[in-house]
């Protein structure tokens, strides 16, 4: 599985979580066109924004935790 596929899977899961938390029964304005009301559209954008922020924060935390570990073959042994 590529990094892009992993990102898409994580984003989809988190977006769905925030979308459910922020939404109240999304109802199409025009059933034939399938468009959403302005409020529902804003909620979906907010869910996407929150999902991206969470992914960025998780990536930042992972990068910070890696700085304390030596790269393979570079560890100094002994106390």
The helix-helix angle for 3-22 and 38-66 (nearest 10°) equals 130
Average pLDDT of adjacent 10-residue blocks, the chain of 79 residues? 85 88 67 72 88 88 67 69
Domain ranges for the chain, please list them. 37-65
Q: Which of 58, 59, 48, 42 is nearest to 16 (CA)?
A: 48
pLDDT at 53: 92
**The pTM is what?**
0.59
- What three-state secondary structure class fits 3? helix
Q: Which residues contact 35 (CB under 8 A, 6 or more apart)?
A: 28, 29
């Amino acid at each position: 599985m590529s990094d892009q596929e992993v990102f898409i899977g994580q984003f989809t899961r988190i977006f769905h979580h925030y979308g459910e938390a922020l939404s109240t029964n999304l109802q199409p304005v025009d059933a034939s066109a399938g468009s959403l009301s302005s409020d529902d559209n804003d909620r979906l954008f907010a869910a996407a924004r929150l999902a991206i922020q969470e992914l960025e924060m998780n990536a930042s935390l992972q990068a910070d935790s890696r700085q304390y570990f030596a790269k393979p073959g570079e560890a100094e042994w002994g106390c």
